[in-house]
Structure 1
Amino acid sequence: MILIVDSGSTKCDWVSVDKNGNQLLEKIRTKGLNPAILKEKKLFKIINKQTELKKHKDEVTHVYFYGAGCGTEKPRLQLKMVLESIFSKATVEVKEDTFAAVRATISEPNEAAVVCILGTGSNCSYYDGKELHQRVSSLGYTLMDDASGNYYGKQLIRDYYFNHMPENIKVSFAEKYNLDADFIKYNLYKQPNPNAYLASFAEFMFLNKESDYIKTLIKKGLKLFSENMIFQFKDELKSVPVHFAGSIAFFSENEIREVANELGYKVGNIVRRPIEGLVSYHTSM
């Protein structure tokens, strides 16, 4: 049994297939497994809590894990150790989530492209057809992650409290979420995964996209992301497309194409969830 895993900070999808790509179990979803945020004990707990994974762990021969927070060595090795402890008979490979986005969005195995992730967090890399290149190290949701779910959640809460929202949007926002200051601070500073908590507010944008305020908010984040991340690769952009993966990207497709047209780069493929492309990749090798 081969396990192919695509994890963000919010949720984690597990697909089990045989070597021919035939699905063996129903797709499993757990909470996100971000080793840059979660401690080892919590990572173990999330995986072991899933009864199907626990039941079939000794049947697993390979684990291909792609995840947020796996872009630096220490958290990546920590998660690899956790997975090897649980799936003790399997060969385990852990890569950052950008590799999942690359393998799910490129049209040809050796296609060069700039590949972006816009989900709970955000990231951008250049894939030259063989290797992945990054010119800015991610410092996580507190300092970076422009145009991500947690970025937009933060902006919505700030605009609500600073009275920058139109009144009708402000009323709708307050009806949908608990915006009590103590409740917000409890979730941000006392609970795990504050980035995922912030990202939970981003859904509001896509339920209210007819608002000029929301459209402006989405495009502002995308312009920041373009300027700070995509334009790391100005020379490469002259000849390659920019692909996107993630829920925020999927639901912001029109705005992404508008911003790209304004700023002068070419948008390629946009996929919501990379997991389907990963299955094809690993079973056709």
Structure 2
Amino acid sequence: MILIADGGSTKADWIAINKNKEEAFRTRTLGLNPAIVPAEELYNRIINMFQLINVKDDVEEIHFYGAGCGTPKPIQILKTILESIFVNAKIVISEDMLAAVYAATGKEPALVCILGTGSNSCYYDGENMEMLVPSLGYILMDEASGNYFGKKLIIDYFYKNMPAEIAEKFKEEFDLDPDYIKKNLYREPNPNMYLASFAKFMFDFKEEKYIKKIITEGFQEFFKYRILPYNKTIDTPIYFIGSIAHYFRDILEEMAAKNNLVITDVIQRPIDNLLEYHINNIN
């Protein structure tokens, strides 16, 4: 049996493939970002999913694509945990950007971008990924991501830059007690996921001038730092992966047009495309 995982910061989608290249089952755990989530919590999130534990001795390969898996140290943390659970498996861990590439374009050249809990981009030439800037995560980067917008909303609320009517609805929907916010940001796992949870608020108000301005400015920042430096033309395919890209696709396409670019496709969840890629490439 082979396990394929698309591991974001908010959630991780798993699919099992049997020896006949057929899907055996699929499941979902909480996010497994080893750059943010403590090792003990990563371990617990996996072993508490019975579908994974039921087959742990039968798994021969694991292909894990994850947020936070772009540098050696977090990769080793996660690999050690997976090896302790799936004792018979060969484990390959890659960053989530590669999963986005395989899901979006397979083996064809394209610009591929992630706009979910976090954000990132690369140019794929058909064989190799080119990333002009490493991702330094939710505190320093992640332009136009869920956590980026969540942070912006919280800041605007407390600085009273949010229109009164929207601020009242924001207050009704979330616990905005300062101590509660600080506890989630500084003492709990997944502060980036916590910040991203506020971004869902924007969808119901995306036609409001204030919200649309936030989204537009965030997307423009993403284009400025994560797309335009590649100096690609309008003929270059551009794919976006993730919930922020999916739910605000219309604004994203407007921003692409302003930058003389065209978005080829937006994929909310890459796991099905990733499954197809692996089935087609299993020997």
Return the TM-score normalized by structure 1. Answer: 0.95
SS of residue matched to 2:92: strand
Q: Distance in 2 between matches of 1:7 and 1:207?
A: 27
Whether the aligned pair in 1 keeps the contact of 2:9 and 2:117 (CA below 8 Å) is: yes
Query: Could you say which residue in structure 2 is the equivalent of 1:72?
Result: 71
SS in 2 for 1:257: helix
- Determine the C-alpha separation between the residues in 1 that align with 2:77 and 2:183: 28
Structure 2 partner of 1:16: 16
Q: Which residue number corresponds to residue 216 of structure 1?
A: 213
State the shift of 1:39 in Å.
Answer: 2.5
- Secondary structure (helix, strand or coil) at the match of 1:24 reads strand
Shift of residue 266, structure 1, vs aligned partner: 2.0
Listed one character per residue, the Cα deviations across residues 145-177 of structure 1 (whole Å, up to 9, x for unaligned) are: 010000000000011111111111111100100
> What are the equivalent positions in structure 2 for 1:219-234 lying under 5 Å apart?
219-234=216-231
Give the aligned partner of residue 260 of structure 1: 256
Contact 2:108–2:126 (CA under 8 A) maintained in structure 1:
yes
The SS at the match of 2:57 is helix
**Whole-Å separation in 1 of the counterparts to 2:129 and 2:221:** 22
Q: In the TM superposition, what is the alpha-carbon distance from 1:252 to its structure 2 partner?
A: 1.1
Contact 2:234 2:260 in 1 (8 A): no
Question: Which of the numbers 239, 242, 252 marks the counterpart of 1:243?
Answer: 239
8 Å CA contact 2:109, 2:124 repeated in 1:
yes
Structure 1 residues without counterparts, runs of 5 or longer: none
- C-alpha separation in 1, matches of 2:280 and 2:206: 40
What is the RMSD computed on CA atoms of the aligned residues? 1.2
Once the two structures are aligned, what percentage of the paired residues are identical?
48
Alignment-derived partner of residue 83 in structure 1: 82
Instruction: Name the SS for the 1:65 alignment partner.
Output: strand
SS in 2 for 1:125: strand
Q: Is the 8 A contact 1:98 1:117 kept in 2?
A: yes
Aligned residue-pair number = 281
Give the equivalent residue in structure 1 for 2:131: 134
Q: CA, structure 1 residues 237+96, in 2 after alignment: closer, same or farther (shift >3 Å)?
A: farther
Give the residue type in structure 2 aligned to 1:14: W
State the 1:238 CA deviation.
5.1
What CA deviation, in whole Å up to 9, does each residue of 1:62-121 have, x standing for no partner?
Answer: 111111000111111221221122111111111100111111111xx4311110000100
Indicate the SS of the match to 2:276.
helix
Greater shift, 46-55 or 136-145, is seen at 46-55
Q: Which residue of 1 aligns with 2:172?
A: 175
> In the TM superposition, what are the counterparts of 1:109-188 in structure 2 within 5 Å?
109-188=106-185
Shifted more, 153-162 versus 109-118: the winner is: 109-118
Q: Match of 1:141, SS?
A: helix
- Could you tell me how far 1:20 is from its partner in structure 2? 4.0
- Give me the TM-score of the superposition, normalised by structure 2: 0.96
In 2, distance between residues paired with 1:248 and 1:7?
A: 16
